[in-house]
């Protein structure tokens, strides 16, 4: 379970303090698929970074399964990310000097996991995302959609409980984006992962269990877009 308790994030700028988050509070249950919408610069990515412990709030607290992330040391937060969080970025952020399989294996490698075990998982995941025959390719030989599918496999390889996706379709065309979201949702729901997805797309947001919006530094419930049918929330694993 993720608890966001009165989160503030402020940035010092010449002559003023710019507040991006002004007291965000929310609770996200295990296995829930939450979409976060909002205008550019509204603080969506900042919120994801705070949840992942990449950034620290100016005030307030993020709790993962009851543990305050902001009270962890930098090293503890890194270890937490390794084991509990899978990250998917808008620009895929694959490491250009590693092959597809090496990119997927990277979190395991960083965690010092035993190679054969991790390799089996990585190959299986690549099979799930339909790229088992592209294992030896470097990222620059893949299309955008393929790169994002590799990123999904990478995010899942360590079996995290939480997947954070920051506009994962923002750099893809609609059709490819839909396929990527299909895959991400399917994998997350099947494994019972919590999925927090930042998006501008009403259509993609409509697939979430819950849609929240960042407005004036606050996270507020957002109405489901009309004409789009919400999917049923899967059972908890």
Partner 1 sequence: MTSISLLRSSFRSLLRRPWQTGLMVMGIALGVAVVVAIDLANASAGRAFELSSQALVGRATHQLVGGPAGIPDSLYTALRVEQGVRSSAPVVEGMVLAVGLERQPLRVLGVDPLVDAPFRDHFGLAGVDFVDLARFYTDRQAVFVSPDMADRYGWRVGTTVEVQVGAHLETVRIAGTIPPREGGSSAALDNVLVMDVAAAQELLGQVGRLTRIDLILGPDEADVLRGRLPEGVRLVPAGEQTQTLGQLTEAFQLNLTALSLLALVVGMFLIYNTVMFSVVQRRPVLGTMRALGLTGGQLFGLVLAETAVVAAIGAAAGLGLGWLLGRGAVTLVSQTINDLYYVLAVREAPLRMATAVKGIALGLGAGLAGALLPALEAASVPPVTAMARSSLEARARRWIPWVAGTGVALLGLGSLLLVWARSSILTSLLALAGVVVGLALMVPAATVVLMRMAGPVMRRAAGALGTMAARSVVRSLSRTGIAIAALTVSVSATIGVSAMITSFRSTVANWLDLVLRADVYVSAPGPSGAQWGTNLPPDLVARLESVEGVAVVEPYRTVLVSSEFGEIQLTAVDGRRQRDAGLYRFARGTPEQIWAQVLDGAVIASEPLAYRAGLAPASASIRLETDRGPRTFPIAAVYYDYTAERGALIMTLETYHRYWDDVSLTSFGIFATPGQGLDDLAARMRRELGGTGLEVQVNRALRLEALRIFDRTFAITNALRLLAVVVAFIGMVSALMALQLERSRELATLQALGCTPGQLSRLTLMETGLMGTVSAVLSWPIGLALAAILVYVINLRSFGWSIRLQIEPGLFLQALAIGLAAALLAAIYPLHRLTRAEVAAGLRQE
When asked if residue 79 is in the footprint of partner 1 (CB under 8 A), the reply is yes
Rounded distance, CA 154 to CA 170, Å?
A: 18
* Per-residue interface string for the shown chain with partner 1, residues 145-184, x marking contact by CB under 8 A: ---------x---x--------------------------
Secondary structure letter of residue 200 according to DSSP: S
Q: Which residue has the tokens 């999917």?
A: 231
- Contact between 17 and partner 1 by CB under 8 A: the answer reads no
Token pair for 189: 């729901």
Binding partner 1 (rule: CB under 8 A), the pick from 81, 121, 149, 189 is: 81
For the CB of residue 110, give the shortest distance to partner 1 in the complex, in Å. 5
From residue 98 to residue 137, the character string flagging contacts with partner 1 as x (rule: CB under 8 A) and all else as - is: x---x--xxx-xxx--------------------------
Is residue 181 within 8 Å of 207, Cβ to Cβ? yes
Cβ pair 58, 9 in contact under 8 A: yes
Do 188 and 157 touch, CB atoms closer than 8 A? no
Cα–Cα distance measured from residue 35 to residue 107, given in angstroms and rounded to the nearest whole number? 25
Q: What is the DSSP pairing of strand 59-64 with strand 85-88? A: unpaired
Nearest to 41 by CA among 221, 220, 215: 215
- Under rule CB under 8 A, residue 67 binds partner 1: no
Least Å from the CB of residue 60 to partner 1: 16
**Does residue number 54 form part of the binding site for partner 1 (CB under 8 A)?**
yes
Footprint of partner 1 (CB under 8 A): 45-46, 49, 52, 54-55, 74-75, 78-79, 81-83, 87, 89, 91, 93, 95-98, 102, 105-107, 109-111, 140, 154, 158
């Amino acid at each position: 379970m993720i608890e966001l308790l009165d989160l503030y994030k402020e940035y010092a700028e010449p002559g003023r303090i710019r507040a991006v988050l002004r007291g965000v509070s929310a609770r996200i249950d295990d296995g829930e698929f939450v979409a976060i919408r909002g205008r550019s610069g509204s603080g969506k990515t900042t919120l994801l970074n705070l949840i992942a412990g990449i950034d620290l709030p100016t005030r307030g607290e993020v709790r993962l399964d009851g543990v305050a992330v902001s009270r962890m040391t930098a090293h503890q937060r890194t270890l937490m990310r390794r084991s509990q969080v899978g990250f998917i970025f808008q620009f895929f952020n694959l490491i250009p000097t590693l092959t597809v399989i090496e990119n997927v294996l990277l979190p395991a490698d960083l965690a010092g996991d035993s190679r054969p075990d991790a390799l089996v998982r990585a190959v299986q995941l690549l099979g799930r995302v339909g790229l088992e025959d592209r294992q030896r390719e470097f990222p620059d030989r893949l299309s955008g959609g393929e790169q994002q599918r590799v990123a999904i496999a990478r995010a899942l390889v360590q079996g995290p409980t939480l997947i954070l996706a920051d506009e994962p379709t923002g750099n893809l065309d609609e059709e490819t984006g839909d396929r990527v979201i299909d895959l991400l949702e399917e994998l997350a729901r099947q494994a019972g992962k919590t999925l927090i997805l930042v998006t501008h797309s009403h259509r993609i947001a409509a697939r979430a269990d819950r849609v929240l919006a960042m407005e004036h530094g606050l996270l507020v419930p957002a109405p489901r877009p009309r004409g789009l049918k919400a999917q049923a929330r899967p059972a908890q694993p």
